[in-house]
Amino acid sequence: MNDTRLKILTFIEKNSRVDLKELAVVLGMEEDMVSKEIKDMENEGIICGFHTIIDWDKLAAEKVTAMIEVRVTPQRGKGFDDIAERIYKYPEVTSVYLMSGSFDLMVMLEGKTLKEVSTFVTEKLATLETVINTQTNFVLKKYKDHGTVLTKKYEDNRMPIVP
Amino acid sequence: MSYVARQVENMKPSGIRKFFDIVSEMEDAISLGVGEPDFDTPWHIRDEGIYSLEKGRTFYTSNSGLMELRKEICNYLKRRFDVSYEPAKEVLVTVGGSEAIDVGLRAVINPGEGEEVLIPQPSYVSYEPCAVLAGAKPVIIQLCNENQFRLTKQELLDAVTDKTKVLILPFPNNPTGAVLTEQDLRDIAEVCIERDILVMSDEIYAELTYDRDHVSIASIPGMKERTILINGFSKSYAMTGWRLGYACGPEEIISQMMKIHQYAIMCAPTTSQYAAVEALKNGDDDVVKMREAYNQRRRFLLNAFKEMDLPCFEPFGAFYVFPCIKKYGMTSEEFATEFLKQEKVAVVPGTAFGDSGEGFIRISYAYSIENLKIAIAKLKDFVGRLQK
């Protein structure tokens, strides 16, 4: 893989707010090149978006996350793509993955209440004709998300001056 | 009558103690004075230490260290720096690189016979006192900014006498960040072979070099038999608190160092040794990641210095930069003291590492870029005021 791209991506994956000038400085690259690579990667669909990691629990916001294991019957000639698309089009669905193992699709869902999520599953998801069955798992606590620990803050425990 | 030994009483206390006391008292001070990684020890290494405790591996190891660890050390040195050592006879696992320095000097110096130990400075604070305690006469080589604080052949030749026994080679260097090129090492090797000098090469920062690979002087032909190579786990694997290092060298010397180590220490901490095996077996990726992070910060700082017109040579090793503050008409200590008082940011005056550090300050980049940014903004304000 292109080393320049790898270096840029590795950095901005953890810190997408860095400005171009600083990014160029820390990576030891020309600003123009960094800017061009990022644009190219956006056009090529390598960089797909920028998100913020939020611990909604700390805001006491009403938010329920569920991970739903879905077994489906794949369709001839189309495999799982059509059914996946039908599911991911719902805005409350945040992720859809095709899985190996004992079920086929992992659907992640965000809703305001347990009831809202279960209504979605029973009325929208389970009623799709290719869906064989579903198993809904509610998230109770998020410890770590996207490589970031949510439950603890970094503390510098070193002595302030060390030779 | 004083019970205290004269040579100990005469030893200067570490020059940074004073700063340590001020900073510790000060609330919300920012420190750029730390000489250890900001990363936690990688979890798989810590986990191995914990596992060894769970398994009840809480006994002494052999004096030289676990055989498995010594084998891994030899594999590592071969793999990374192309030097071959015999695990059974040429490796001693020590309590940090610091113990290796102390024990190594004591093993080779005949006390009171005026044997000279050459110490290039600025450099780590313990070489000179260890040489004195071993009964040697320390001879300081003043490195200079014009050579990017590298040790040149001429500087070495000027310092060598008939009494010279040991050359301490502290590269990559704390506090300057200087590294030596392979050609520098060949030039130094030539002198050492010609004048029959033993080299104590402190390579604790060997993994932290940027845009170039570290070369060990032991890999230069004719040098392995006259080199004590010192390395450890503190800097490369962020394992400072585990206190684990090692010395490799000719059996003749290592076996004598082992005797001192045996009587003074018994063996290096067992838990740390098990963790270190894991570090050497599976830690290469961690090192790569941490090195890349340090390199980003290094570039960030050098660029910031350029923007504020603070002269600094480009250092390619360790995690320090060593900017020159002479143009502000202050000593290193005055600069550091004022900076701390006015901006509450701690840096270490270059003089803490020897007289030739006068006119320089050591800034550590073992901090996140976010922290460095805050501190650098304050530095910019401070030097901005000085310039007026």
Interface ipTM? 0.87
Residue A61 has pLDDT above 80, yes or no: no
Q: Give the tens place of pLDDT for each residue, B213-260.
A: 999 999 999 999 999 999 999 999 999 999 999 999 999 999 999 999
Residue B12 has pLDDT above 90, yes or no: no
Secondary structure element (H or E) that encloses residue A105, with its range = strand A105-111
Task: Name the phi and psi angles at B232, rounded to 5.
Answer: -175, -170
Q: Is B171 exposed, middle or buried (0-12, 13-18, 19+ CB in 10 A)?
A: buried
Q: Give the tens place of pLDDT for each residue, B179-206.
A: 999 999 999 999 999 999 999 999 999 9
What letters, b where the CB count within 10 A reaches 16 and e where it falls short, cover B295-311? bbbbbbbbbbbeebebe
What band does A33 get if pLDDT is binned at 50, 70 and 90? very high
What band does B61 get if pLDDT is binned at 50, 70 and 90? very high
Q: Give the tens place of pLDDT for each residue, B88-113.
A: 999 999 999 999 999 999 999 999 99
Give the pLDDT of residue B20: 84
* B265–A contact, CB cutoff 8 A: no
Residue that has been written with the tokens 């000027």 in this structure: B158
- Cβ atoms of residues B229 and B169 within 8 Å: no
* B22–A contact, CB cutoff 8 A: no
Percent of chain B exceeding pLDDT 90 equals 94
CA–CA dist A22, B140 (Å, integer): 40
Q: Which of B56, B110, B76 lies closest to B207, judged by CA?
A: B76
Question: Hey, what domains does chain B have and what are their CATH numbers?
Answer: 6-41+285-382 (3.90.1150.10), 57-282 (3.40.640.10)
Average of per-residue pLDDT across B276-285 = 98
Residues 71-100 of B with CB under 8 A from A: none
Closest-CA distance of chain B to residue A4, Å: 13
Tokens of B80: 């990374």
Task: Name the phi and psi angles at B261, rounded to 5.
Answer: -60, -40
Residue A1 has pLDDT above 70, yes or no: no
Cβ separation B23–A28 shorter than 8 A: no
CA–CA dist B294, B312 (Å, integer): 17
* A17–B contact, CB cutoff 8 A: no
* B14–A contact, CB cutoff 8 A: yes
* A101–B contact, CB cutoff 8 A: no
Q: Which of B34, B299, B300 sits opposite A162 (nearest CB)?
A: B34
What band does B120 get if pLDDT is binned at 50, 70 and 90? very high
Query: Which residues have CB under 8 Å from B143's CB, separation 6+?
Result: B120, B121, B122, B149, B150, B151, B155, B176, B178, B356
* B212–A contact, CB cutoff 8 A: no
Residue B9 has pLDDT above 70, yes or no: yes
Secondary structure element (H or E) that encloses residue A37, with its range = helix A31-43
Residue B39 has pLDDT above 70, yes or no: yes
Task: Look at residue B329 and give its three-state secondary structure.
Answer: coil
* B348–A contact, CB cutoff 8 A: yes
Q: Which of B19, B34, B353 sits opposite A158 (nearest CB)?
A: B34
How many other CB atoms are there within 10 angstroms of residue B256's CB atom?
16
Chain A residue nearest residue B38, CA to CA: A156
Q: Give the tens place of pLDDT for each residue, B163-180.
A: 999 999 999 999 999 999
Closest-CA distance of chain A to residue B240, Å: 10
Chain A residue nearest residue B301, CA to CA: A26
Cβ separation A11–B296 shorter than 8 A: yes
Q: Which of B97, B113, B106 lies closest to B35, judged by CA?
A: B97
Closest-CA distance of chain A to residue B89, Å: 32
Closest-CA distance of chain A to residue B94, Å: 19
Tokens of B197: 């000098």
CA–CA dist B96, B19 (Å, integer): 24
Residue B16 has pLDDT above 80, yes or no: no
Give the pLDDT of residue B382: 97
Query: Which residues have CB under 8 Å from B200's CB, separation 6+?
Result: B101, B104, B105, B166, B167, B168, B169, B227, B228, B230
What band does A153 get if pLDDT is binned at 50, 70 and 90? confident
Secondary structure element (H or E) that encloses residue B165, with its range = strand B164-169
Q: For chain A, how big is the Rg over CA atoms in Å? A: 21
Residue that has been written with the tokens 């004073």 in this structure: B18
Give the pLDDT of residue A155: 87
Tokens of A16: 């997408």
- Cβ atoms of residues A24 and A8 within 8 Å: no
B interface test, pick of A8, A144, A158, A161 with most B CB neighbours within 10 Å: A161
Query: Mean pLDDT of all residues in chain B?
Result: 96
Secondary structure element (H or E) that encloses residue B344, with its range = none
